[in-house]
Structure 1
Amino acid sequence: MSVSSSLQPRRYPDPAALLRLIKPVTWFPPVWAYLCGVVASSASPLSAWPLVILGMILAGPVVCGMSQAANDWCDRHVDAINEPDRPIPSGRVPGRWGLWVALAMSVLALGLGSALGPWGFGATCLGVIAAWAYSAEPVRLKRSGVWGPGLVGLSYETLPWFTGAAVLSAGAPSPQVILIALLYGIGAHGIMTLNDFKALEGDRQTGVNSLPVTLGPERAARVACIVMTLPQLAVIAALALWDLPVHAAAIASLLVGQAWAMRVMLRDPRAKAPWYNGTGVLFYVSGMMIAAVALRGL
């Protein structure tokens, strides 16, 4: 009696599963941050549009996509508990294909990064190192509810913002640009904490000490809101100090909108955290671009 081919494991990955592996939905934050850096620089984006396009591709599909593939490979045992339909635990990306994809994209990232000059290449190296340090043993900073989300926030927001400004200006960004990029990267720690809610059970069973695991959903949600709010208050204060009151007021109004969304989310953090990441975060990233426009005017 022959075994049905549908029951035999795949030898090659499903193309749709490969696309899901690199998660296009996650590409927006680093691409947006890179564009914020471009806007905040003193150079005209039109005068260097190939670098703008290349940087967007590198920040989103390549480096961020690589980090997602690496995370899925290193988290395949956790995903088997939380989301067994994900590409690797479901078998649609079989064997070591997930690892090979992550490694190949790491090499591709370094190759493309070299075309962005020394600042762009250096930032790409940091991004690749951060991606593997977050997910892979023996470092696996993802195990920490403090260092893991902090590294992701800085990698998704601060690093691409810095890179966009450095590549366009062909030099180190101004201290003001670095400060604002750093503040938004720190605030993104809270966004990453809310993102950890979806993996709560698997993290608890596999020893990943995310804040929702160590503090509980309610306290972790409150900490996330505080961490998101304080850096934005610092951005508002900095812009006001630099005589940019209109931009400071605009970001303050967006922060009010976030406060409303936070109140809704805090009523039921486990259920509402995904909702907040689709609503309140829009206010957050809108404030980033307003800050970038303000910095350009300095």
Structure 2
Amino acid sequence: MATPAPSAVVELLKPITWFAPMWAFACGVVSSGYPASGQWPVIAAGVLLAGPLVCATSQAANDWFDREVDAINEPGRPIPSGRIPGRWGLYLAAGWTALSLLVAAALGPWILGAAAFGLTLAWIYSAPPVRLKRNGWWGNAAVALCYEGLPWFTGAAVMAAALPDRRVLGLALLYSLGAHGIMTLNDFKSVEGDRRMGVASLPVQLGVARAARFACWVMALPQAAVVALLVHWDRPWHAALVAGLLAGQLALMARFLRDPRGRAAWYNGTGTTLYVLGMLAAAFALRPLVQGGL
């Protein structure tokens, strides 16, 4: 049987998508309040787990089960183009799942549990009969949690070797909620294919204009809640920074809403950058709170 070229395997695993969970993992490390000195091997293993392993697994599984949709929307992708032949896409997804669990087990029970939960979501997002991707409400929620909340939790749990502080968990959850809107941005490019294949993405369900407005609200409101919490926790400078970054996003959203399909990728590269910078600012705000046990 023909085997795929290494370049096709790398493309299947989509390294560009690894940034979000690796960044969220780093935010978890920062927010934990524990010093990184002496922990770099563990941190490096966690970054590997968040991006090149768990996230890459989700990409391989998604491309395998989405191969018919991709044949319409993106026929140049490795599987529909034939550069990943036969059932190699499925084998790679299964192998990366096993490798992810082995690395997670070496990092401790909390990390193994989080990784197992994230991998389960990754498979049921794409695979029948559940296939959460068929509904934009559930599918985007699963991806947002895997990309933001779970890596943040994992980063904090790696450092604490225990369940992270409740404030860490609260911010991780809020940024996961906001990421639901970011996931909707990715659906604007494939409306025709999704409609033909029965995938009820939010642009298909709500229409492009309404889905774009909804995505903006979902991205903005959790960040406003983060600002309020930081003020409540007496972190005014960090709150001001997150608020300023949110204001920048609102300005960019106004331009995005004038042409959602044409500017979704543009907003992903601009507004989402401000979003993740706010995550890091909020993570730094937690350090003295967690360290002091307040």
For 2:71, give the aligned amino acid. Answer: A
The structure 2 residue matched to 1:80, chosen from 71, 80, 85, is: 71
Whole-Å separation in 2 of the counterparts to 1:58 and 1:190: 25
Q: Does 1:194 align with 2:185?
A: yes
For 1:243, give the aligned amino acid. Answer: D
For 2:157, give the aligned amino acid. Answer: A
Instruction: Indicate if the aligned counterparts of 2:33 and 2:286 stay in contact, CA closer than 8 A.
Output: no
Whole-Å separation in 2 of the counterparts to 1:12 and 1:117: 35
Whole-Å separation in 2 of the counterparts to 1:291 and 1:36: 8
For structure 1, list consecutive stretches of 5 or more residues without a partner in the other structure: 1-9
Deviation at 1:297, TM superposition (A): 1.7
- Equivalent residue number for residue 26 of structure 1: 17
For 1:27, give the aligned amino acid. Answer: W
- Equivalent residue number for residue 61 of structure 2: 70
Instruction: Indicate if the aligned counterparts of 2:124 and 2:131 stay in contact, CA closer than 8 A.
Output: yes
The structure 2 residue matched to 1:122, chosen from 88, 113, 116, is: 113
What percentage of aligned pairs have identical amino acids?
60
Whole-Å separation in 1 of the counterparts to 2:276 and 2:33: 21
Q: Does 1:279 align with 2:270?
A: yes
The structure 2 residue matched to 1:237, chosen from 221, 224, 228, is: 228
For structure 2, list consecutive stretches of 5 or more residues without a partner in the other structure: 290-294
Q: Does 1:140 align with 2:164?
A: no
Runs of 4+ residues deviating >4 angstroms: none
Deviation at 1:47, TM superposition (A): 2.2
SS at the partner of 1:165?
helix
**1:74-120, CA deviations, whole angstroms, 9 ceiling, x for partnerless residues?**
00000000000000000000100000000000000000000110111
- Equivalent residue number for residue 263 of structure 1: 254
Aligned residue pairs, count? 289
**1:45-96, CA deviations, whole angstroms, 9 ceiling, x for partnerless residues?**
1221111000000100011011000000000000000000000000000100
Q: Does 1:217 align with 2:208?
A: yes
For 2:81, give the aligned amino acid. Answer: S
Whole-Å separation in 2 of the counterparts to 1:63 and 1:169: 21
Whole-Å separation in 2 of the counterparts to 1:134 and 1:62: 17
Deviation at 1:42, TM superposition (A): 2.3
Q: Does 1:57 align with 2:48?
A: yes
The structure 2 residue matched to 1:37, chosen from 16, 28, 37, is: 28
Q: Does 1:15 align with 2:6?
A: yes
For 2:150, give the aligned amino acid. Answer: L
From the CA coordinates, give the structure whose radius of gyration is larger. Answer: 1
- Equivalent residue number for residue 155 of structure 1: 146
For 1:70, give the aligned amino acid. Answer: A
Over aligned residue pairs, what C-alpha RMSD do you find?
Answer: 0.8
Whole-Å separation in 2 of the counterparts to 1:12 and 1:176: 48
Which structure 2 residues correspond to residues 85-96 of structure 1 after superposition, within 5 A?
Answer: 85-96=76-87
Whole-Å separation in 2 of the counterparts to 1:69 and 1:39: 29
